């Protein structure tokens, strides 16, 4: 493999480029924005920073947060003291750090918009406003708004969510999460270095409506809009059928991060999956035991074995979590109440926040662990019904 073009310099593309360049591959990143802000919490789970220790072993501004408040309509509030804290960056700082690592590893960075990607007999021609570059292989890391129609995930109706929010001057030491009736998503307040990220994500509601809900929440919680900056973005949120037909690789290319739909359909968390997919793509590209024509299938298989089967199952669970009802209340409301009253369920929620509890393994854990009080028995029965029987991990 002589040259790899990485189209997109976000976390997925930057991390893939670093891995490739460090292995001695001529690697070129194309991105017209490079480091930029994005409406999200910016949180990295324990699973991410434990697997990639450089995320904490650096001088980039960041925060460890160990307290999370979760709330839902008519359920009050529950506080989680996280055994494994969340690591929070601003997206600008995180992205800048990952790009710098790629550059230090030897990757070339071009601040250019890719206009077209043309297949050649033995590779690709990448065309920009300033010219063209030939590459043997392409990593597609263009994000959810991928302009290259022939590569990356193809969205269908219902396969995306809207994320919008504000960067607000202020400080706090906990994460706040608020579930709303009828919203397949939630409101968040994440403390970053020097500001708060306050936002909302969800599906099947117009962005103006969601913005009104968010601003009402901010007013009720005395979060001022003075000096705040507004952002909005599209997130992948694949349904089950979309995961089964997801176009993540083909002859001479692999998609990573948002361009491959790699976002948790329940939580909207995508940073770990962006970096992990970039890492796995680079591993397959570098692995000379795979013939060039076999790399796409190897990448699909590697992703599925690592985390994609779990995300596909999460897509099946998402509708049930946000839309089903139990004992005259919503599932999020019952989860808040169970978190407040059951140590076992609180432990389960902590592990979900840490990223160490898979969705496929939920049912087995529930069958093993929730056999205590009458309340826990009711809770176990409820969750047993919530999780499909034929998908137990």
For residue 138, being part of any structural domain is answered with yes
What percent of the chain is predicted at pLDDT more than 70? Answer: 91
pLDDT of residue 374: 54
**Is-contact 393 368, C-beta < 8 A?**
no
Whether 16 and 95 map to the same domain: the answer is yes
Whether 208 and 349 map to the same domain: the answer is no
Q: Which domain holds residue 132?
A: 3-42+90-156+239-314
Least confident of 35-49, 211-225, 277-291, 379-393: 379-393
| Residue 27 neighbours by CB under 8 Å, 6+ apart | 3, 4, 6, 17, 20, 21, 102, 106, 107, 108
Cα 313 from Cα 387, distance rounded (Å):
10
When pLDDT is cut at 50, 70 and 90, the band that residue 391 belongs to is very low
- Between 158 and 215, whose confidence is greater? 215
Whether 243 and 382 map to the same domain: the answer is no
Cα 152 from Cα 164, distance rounded (Å):
24
pLDDT tens, position by position, 31-74: 988 867 666 767 899 999 999 999 999 999 999 999 999 999 88
The yes-or-no verdict on residue 377 having pLDDT over 80 is no
For residue 65, being part of any structural domain is answered with no
Q: Work out whether the CA dihedral 276, 281, 282, 287 comes out positive or negative.
A: positive
Whether 139 and 267 map to the same domain: the answer is yes
Domain boundary among 284, 314, 344: 314
Whether 224 and 263 map to the same domain: the answer is no
> Distance from CA of residue 39 to its chain's centroid?
12
| Residue 52 neighbours by CB under 8 Å, 6+ apart | 275
For residue 122, being part of any structural domain is answered with yes
For residue 116, being part of any structural domain is answered with yes
Question: Into how many domains does the chain fold?
Answer: 3
**Is-contact 238 264, C-beta < 8 A?**
no
- Closest to 261 measured CA to CA, from 315, 297, 301: 315
Whether 102 and 19 map to the same domain: the answer is yes
Least confident of 128-142, 270-284, 288-302, 350-364: 350-364
Whether 305 and 208 map to the same domain: the answer is no
For residue 231, being part of any structural domain is answered with yes
Whether 31 and 107 map to the same domain: the answer is yes
Residue 389 three-state SS: helix
Whether 38 and 126 map to the same domain: the answer is yes
């Amino acid at each position: 493999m002589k040259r790899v073009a990485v189209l997109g310099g976000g976390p997925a593309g930057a991390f893939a480029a670093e891995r490739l360049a460090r292995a001695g591959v001529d690697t070129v990143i194309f991105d017209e924005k490079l480091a930029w802000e994005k409406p999200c919490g910016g949180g990295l789970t324990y699973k991410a920073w434990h697997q990639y220790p450089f995320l904490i072993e650096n001088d980039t501004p960041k925060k460890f947060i160990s307290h999370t408040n979760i709330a839902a309509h008519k359920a009050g509030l529950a506080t989680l003291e996280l055994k494994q804290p969340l690591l929070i960056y601003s997206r600008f700082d995180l992205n800048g750090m990952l790009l710098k690592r790629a550059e230090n590893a030897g990757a070339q960075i071009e601040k250019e918009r890719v206009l077209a990607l043309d297949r050649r007999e033995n590779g690709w021609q990448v065309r920009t406003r300033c010219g063209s570059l030939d590459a043997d292989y392409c990593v597609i890391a263009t994000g959810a708004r991928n302009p290259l129609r022939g590569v990356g995930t193809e969205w269908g109706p219902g396969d995306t969510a809207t994320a919008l929010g504000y960067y607000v001057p202020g400080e706090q030491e906990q994460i706040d999460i608020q579930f709303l009736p009828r919203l397949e998503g939630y409101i968040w307040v994440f403390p970053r270095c020097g500001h708060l990220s306050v936002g909302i994500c969800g599906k099947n509601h117009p962005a103006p409506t969601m913005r009104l809900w968010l601003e009402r929440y901010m007013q009720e919680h005395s979060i001022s809009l003075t000096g705040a900056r507004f952002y909005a973005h599209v997130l992948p949120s694949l349904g089950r059928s979309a995961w089964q037909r997801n176009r993540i690789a083909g002859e001479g290319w692999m998609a990573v991060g948002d361009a491959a739909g790699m976002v948790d359909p329940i939580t909207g968390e995508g940073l770990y999956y962006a970096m992990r997919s970039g890492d796995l793509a680079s591993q397959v590209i570098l692995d000379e035991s795979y013939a060039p024509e076999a790399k796409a299938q190897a990448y699909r298989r590697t992703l599925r074995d690592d985390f994609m089967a779990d995300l596909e199952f999460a897509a099946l669970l998402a509708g049930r979590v946000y839309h089903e009802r139990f004992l005259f209340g919503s599932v999020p409301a019952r989860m808040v109440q169970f978190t407040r009253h059951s140590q076992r369920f609180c432990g389960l929620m902590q592990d979900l926040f840490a990223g160490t509890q898979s969705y496929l393994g939920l049912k087995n854990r529930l069958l093993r662990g929730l056999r205590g009080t009458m309340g826990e028995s009711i809770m176990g029965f409820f969750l047993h019904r919530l999780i499909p029987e034929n998908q137990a991990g």
